[in-house]
Amino acid sequence: MRIALINSGLGLLAPAAALHQLRPDADLVLAPDPDGMPWGPRTPADIASRALLCARACALHAPDAIIMACNTGSVHALEALRAEFEPQIPVIGTVPAIKPAAAEHRSVSIWATVATTASAYQRRLITDFADGADVTSIACPGLAESIDAGDEAATATAVAAGAAQTPADCEAIVLGCTEYELVAHRIGLVVPSAITYGSATAVATQALRRIPATSRATSDHEHGSAVGTVRVLLSGRPAELPAAALRYPEGRLLAPLVVGGRVERLPAAGFLGRD
């Protein structure tokens, strides 16, 4: 079984780690787009073009499913990806976990990029799934970029700014950008009254569900003994795992599985995240 994940940056690490934990035997293809990042300021057509570039490179590795592990990419590129690859290869999108958060809590905040916070897409999600909860949208300028860069100081500053905007009675924080899941623990520390809701596990579970039965049956036979591999494609090119990925537990989990390229040397600065 092989699953490809696409994102402009490191936001694909969280669902990739969830997939590895659910199915350690699955091979993964990680396809960030450093040449085109960030996607947020780009036009919808440009985002779709960048996503297709990454997906076509992934398709050469014959994946059983492709995950668009990016909220922005899911809004603007999912239709183009599905038009090109389905039904042969299922394409799974990413949606912020507003529905489960609102089902359990009355005061919910959505942390997202500036573009997503201002988008009709997020407003529609709140209208459709908030279920009567009091929802506050929190724009977090620079947070995704600092996470992708592995910049601990800038990440801490951006998280603190998000926390300052979050209502004191907030019970749940929806992580509306997949990069934010890499620092969910840090967000939880600065807003200890709130539970963080990410989408990584739900997306991974949906991808496994969508894989054709024939591919799933072959992999199920080997499940329990085999350990999958990880391949990295940077803007479509076979490459090393970016050094910034090693600042996060999810990246460190996947790093020993990387084939087809060594892992870059980690910078001298300390790790972000859980040890």
30 pairs with which residues across the strands?
Answer: 5, 232
Give domain limits for the chain: 2-94+201-257, 98-198
Instruction: Yes or no: say if 217 and 13 are a contact pair by the CB < 8 Å rule.
Output: no
What are the mean pLDDT values of the chain's consecutive 10-residue runs (275 residues total)?
97 97 97 93 93 97 97 93 96 94 96 90 92 94 96 97 96 96 96 96 96 65 74 95 96 94 41 36
**Within this chain, domains 2-94+201-257 and 98-198 share the same CATH topology:** yes
Element (H, E) at 68: strand 65-68
Residue 141 in tokens: 């300028």
User: The domain 2-94+201-257 is classified under which CATH number: 2.60.40.1120, 3.40.50.150, 3.40.50.2300, 3.40.50.1860?
Assistant: 3.40.50.1860
Taking alpha carbons only, the member of 18, 13, 20, 9 closest to residue 229 is 20
Q: Which CATH class is domain 98-198?
A: alpha beta
User: Residues with catalytic annotation?
Assistant: 70, 177
Q: Tell me, what's the pLDDT at 118?
A: 87
Prediction pTM value: 0.89
Helices first, then strands: H and E counts in the chain: 12, 10
**Sequence-separated (6 or more) residues with CB below 8 Å from residue 107:** 133, 134, 136, 167, 169, 170, 171, 172
